[in-house]
C-alpha cells in the first residue's frame, strides 16, 4: 500500500467508491469521470505504479484483471464490443500512479484512439 495513493485508499476503504466487483487480488469500481456508458476500472490490490513496473511474476495478476474485465463485460451485455486499456505515464493519460485496467463499452469506438 502507498499511503498517498488514491486507489490504495479506495482499496482500504478510507475513500468511498462504487464497487462493481472485489476479490482477494483486485477491485473493480465505476469511473467517476466516465468516457463511455460503461467505464469501469479494475485495480489490483497490490500497489504497482505503472505498467513499466510490472515484473514477469505479475503475469497472472494482469491476466486476472483481463479475465474479470471480460466477465463484467458479459454481465453488462457488452457482447457487441468493448475496449480494455492500460495507460502508462502522463504522456498516455495516466493520472493515478497505481496500474488500472479501463473497461469501456456501451458505445462505438473509433480508431485510432485519441
Catalytic site positions? 100
Instruction: Evaluate whether 71 touches 55 at the Cβ level (below 8 Å).
Output: no
Beta carbons of 64 and 25 less than 8 angstroms apart: yes
Contact 31, 96 (CB under 8 A): no
Provide the 10 A C-beta neighbour count for residue 46: 14
Give CA–CA dist 91/42, Å, rounded.
21
Provide the H-helix boundaries in the chain.
6-12, 59-75
Amino acid at each position: 500500500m502507498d499511503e498517498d495513493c488514491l486507489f490504495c485508499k479506495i482499496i482500504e476503504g478510507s475513500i468511498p467508491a462504487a464497487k462493481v466487483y472485489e476479490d482477494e487480488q483486485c477491485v473493480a469500481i465505476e469511473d467517476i469521470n466516465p468516457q463511455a456508458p460503461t467505464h469501469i476500472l479494475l485495480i489490483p490490490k497490490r500497489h504497482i505504479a505503472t505498467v513499466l513496473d510490472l515484473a514477469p511474476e505479475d503475469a497472472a495478476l494482469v491476466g486476472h484483471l483481463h479475465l474479470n474485465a471480460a466477465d463484467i463485460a458479459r454481465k453488462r451485455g457488452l457482447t457487441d464490443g468493448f475496449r480494455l486499456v492500460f495507460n502508462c505515464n502522463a504522456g498516455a493519460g495516466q493520472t493515478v500512479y497505481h496500474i488500472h485496467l479501463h473497461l469501456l463499452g456501451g458505445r462505438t469506438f473509433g480508431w485510432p484512439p485519441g
